[in-house]
Structure 1
């Protein structure tokens, strides 16, 4: 399939780059399966999905940079969870996508859940990869983020990556790309986007999720405990929880091929039969 990165002007007043892999027009014309929307984590960009995309080459995919991240516009305001969701809705409208499967990595999964609750007509299913049950509190590293000032140094960004334990070997080039993601974000956006996440009520406190949902979690995640994942699964009636042994919080970084395999199986089987 062909891939291109499009710059999309959203009705919310910003422009975002968006990778489109495959042909969206063919989806709406022939009635085939919806595309898969990829929502990246706080501090990253759509490029964090590149290794996953390589293993999902036959799937039509859409992967934007979220507000303030990557090469997306970086306004001073608009970083609440609802604001980010409205950007996503505006993106889907701009691309003519009426329904999509949604995969969210880490905090991107909170965006995905909020989208499914506030705009359920858009969401066919959810895949939540290392996603917190709730961000409705200051995370332990928030104080460090509050100390950030421009220009952010490379050392500071590397320090942020050290918050996450890696149990699998991750290519150096991939980690260097994530450093560049961090350097692309101004200090004010680091702070505002994190604050927007932890000031939001947990999505599942606001409404119910009825779409088929796959939850992938690393057994050695020191940020998101197992009982939170079990609670999340219990709140979503049509969900299944898969636990990756010897894996930390960054499931997408450590196991992209396995995430791709589980995603393919879920979309082919669980969604069809769910």
Structure 2
């Protein structure tokens, strides 16, 4: 049984500030170690529940955050960028379950380090008119590929967002948001035990249930940008239209849109150069 782990950083145990998660931040080195330990807990849980192969995708920022020499020895790591599928690079029909480690709530939510992909550059996103962030978009893409998301760790806001999207997913709150850059922390050892247990529970559930068939039907993605020049530039991509001066629309299968959205972000980054947590 192959299990896929997408590892973000903002929802990792103990981390609350940009200094914890950004290259050059005063506590970034410590943040990398904390991220690695959360991922290792998920790997242990997956293996303990019967996984025969665990593929881990470093999905945060530079995608070179996890400590290679400290990652679980039985995990296969995908590292670096660019990646065609970004936060879901390497996910395909060969996987039987997805674990999301260290995820965070979407832009506008009062969650720790909340945003949708690009800090304040993206004001909001919708999938078939449903508000969506990184959690929902990953879930919808995995479902379209026929692979269920079975576990998520992050702060309580991220867990609530996942539960609202799919109540069958096992969630682990490793911290409780007090504000966007403040949280009540769960003790690290306790949080990692909970991640390991939830990962095992999720993998066992996936093994016991019939595999989803996947869906390649079209969905519509809408992205509202802070900067109208980004939307104007993206309108030049075939199939992309404008809903208003800052909101772009595009329709297609979810995996195709997930890949195209990576192109959107590269265009936006070339035009703006904004830091994620302004």
Name whichever structure is richer in helix by fraction.
Answer: 1
Name whichever structure is richer in strand by fraction.
Answer: 2
